[in-house]
Amino acid sequence: MSLWLNGIGVSRGVAIGRAQRLHSTDLEIPERRLQAGDIEHEITRFYGAQRRARDELKRVREQIPPGTPGDIAAFIDTHLLMMDDRSIVDTTIGHIRSAKLNAEAALKRTRDAMVAIFDQMDDPYLRTRKDDVGHVVDRIQRVLMKLSTTAAVEGAPKFDIAEQTVIVADDITPADIILLSQQKVVAFITEFGGPTSHTAILARSLGIPAIVGLRDARKWLRDGETVIVDGEQGHALAAPDAEALTFFKSKQVKLAQDRATLQLLRDKPAISKDGVKIRLLANIESPDDAIHAAELGAEGVGLYRTEFLYMNRKDLPSEEEQFEAYAKVVSAVKGPLTIRTLDLGADKQVDSGARLGPTPNNPALGLRAIRLCLREPELFRAQVRALLRASRFGEMKIMLPMISSVAEYRQAHNFMAATRIELAREGYKMADDVPVGAMIEIPAAALASPMLARECQFFSIGTNDLIQYTLAIDRVDDEVNYLYDPLHPAVLQLIQRTIQSGVRAGIPVTMCGEMAGDVRYTRLLLGLGLQEFSMHPANVLEIKRAVLDADVKSLQAQTLRLLASADIEEQQALIAAL
């Protein structure tokens, strides 16, 4: 009998293969108290395990095939850096000495404290970076406990993939994903994770269908049984009948033909049937990502995050360190580059070295992003100086996160203007014009967008947070994420208001949230008047095709009827008809 299971589809495509479960990543960590004479030996044992874990990870890094998207190697590079991170190493050594704990228990105590900090972060993307801590610590723990550092298939000590296989696991490390992707693995199913989890990001980059958040998948799926994975819909079908196999094999063929057709659009301008030029940009995290995005037809970068310079370290990055990082990415991007200023806060300290105050009960509404930067001017000043100095290498724009009012924007803008004057006096070269804009991710900002548009030089709509704040739900929380609805009438009205405010003021409006890269919403967003989309590079060509097939003026008329409707069934019918 067939079994139909539902999770969160995070990487498009259809795969058919035999299920193979991985051992749980949960480890039973031993704890024991040390005698005073054993402490130095235990520290030596920890250092030895750390070095071996690092060396093994380096070997995985060397196995990444040439031409692989940059974000694949970036995950491994991040883990390699974390292997030597003082917040992991020094803290663990401190626990061994002060609490007289064995290395395994001391490392677990370090991990638990770091994960607790990440769990309080509001940004879903950054919150899931706690997985990095878990994977790095797990690798060292396995060496300490003399276990394999490679996720084991049930019943086998090493990977032994003999045919097209669907991996079923609670979670999968980036290193394991890289190793498995080079074998006959056709899809991933994990019990945990969301759209911003490692599995989701890496599966999309590798073009492997994946489902995450499918609870108890290892309980319901048996080793060796045939499983169909639909990575777009989030469906898994176990033991399919002949009719289902025929249907999904046909869908596989159509998708393969579709991918081949998309490649022909790479150099074609994104112009709608009625002549409206749409700009398609990419969200990136490294200079290598910028190169990959350009190869896929992106015209520039709509979002470059800067938080990673501040994470997993004891000290704050210097102005020079930031300048070098920004100059490198600006030089690598052909076209406009929008860099978001620091989006950390009291809930995201992670050993930054700055005392940002106690962690609030509700960090989502606390001192973070632009609020923190204005409260800590020296923190903000170093970043602004580095950004302005790097602006001369390309077409840079600076985006301020979590703006909620005109006064807040003016304060930040005036600070940046004063910093420019300071740099000019010191003899630094800068671009003559560096546009400064606001990220619209708070309902108050969307409602105040007509006033903000008279001050800002551009808007960027962050739909991920805008939807969460508007609907009062946490999309990473499994208990309420079913309420996360980009098509909620209130959300659509806020998006429309923001776009219209930008049009009337003559400033560009970009959308950089996940909604911009989801082809299901492209026609709707065109109807709302959006003309700049920023997304994961892998989605650019698919969105471009939707633009080429669209008649924007017709969609705008249909969308007006949708927004005027108060009937849910009528709204859904109008959305389906777009």
Answer yes or no: 198 catalytic.
yes
Answer yes or no: 456 catalytic.
no
Q: What pTM was computed for the model?
A: 0.72
Cα(200)–Cα(544) distance, integer angstroms: 22
Segment 62-66 mean pLDDT: 74
Q: Which of 95, 135, 198, 292 is catalytic?
A: 198
Confidence of residue 27 (pLDDT cuts 50, 70, 90): confident
Instruction: Please indicate whether residue 530 or residue 351 has the higher confidence score (pLDDT).
Output: 530
Minimal CA–CA distance to 545: which of 263, 338, 324?
263
Cα(63)–Cα(80) distance, integer angstroms: 15
Domains of the chain with CATH codes: 3-24+151-243 (3.50.30.10), 36-144 (1.10.274.10), 273-551 (3.20.20.60)
How many angstroms from the chain centroid is the CA of residue 357? Answer: 27
Q: Which residue has the tokens 């800590």?
A: 376
- Extended strands (E) in 390-504: 395-400, 436-440, 459-461
Quick one: pLDDT at residue 516? 95
What is 458-475 written as a DSSP string?
Answer: -EEE-HHHHHHHHHT--T
Quick one: pLDDT at residue 93? 95
Question: Strand, coil or helix: what is 65?
Answer: coil
Minimal CA–CA distance to 77: which of 299, 286, 239, 368?
286
CA angle 13, 16, 20 (to 5 degrees): 115
Quick one: pLDDT at residue 349? 45
Segment 532-539 mean pLDDT: 91
Segment 338-362 mean pLDDT: 58
pLDDT tens digits, 351-396: 444 444 444 555 567 777 899 899 999 999 999 999 999 999 999 9
pLDDT tens digits, 266-310: 999 999 999 999 999 999 877 777 888 888 889 999 999 888 787
Q: Which of 79, 413, 512, 536 is catalytic?
A: 512
Instruction: Please indicate whether residue 387 or residue 484 has the higher confidence score (pLDDT).
Output: 387
In a 13 Å sphere around the CA of 200, the CA atoms on its Cβ side amount to 23
21-30, 368-377, 457-466: least confident range: 21-30
pLDDT tens digits, 161-201: 557 899 999 888 888 888 888 788 999 999 988 776 777 87
Residues 6+ apart with CB under 8 A from 226: 16, 17, 18, 19, 238, 239, 240, 245
Burial class (CB in 10 A: 0-12, 13-18, 19+), 260: exposed
Segment 527-541 mean pLDDT: 93
Quick one: pLDDT at residue 509? 98
Amino acid at 397: K
Minimal CA–CA distance to 459: which of 492, 409, 406, 499?
499
pLDDT tens digits, 238-270: 999 999 999 999 999 998 898 889 989 999 999
Other Cβ atoms less than 10 A from the Cβ of 96: the count is: 23
In a 13 Å sphere around the CA of 420, the CA atoms on its Cβ side amount to 16
Q: Which residues pair with 187 in a beta bridge?
A: 166
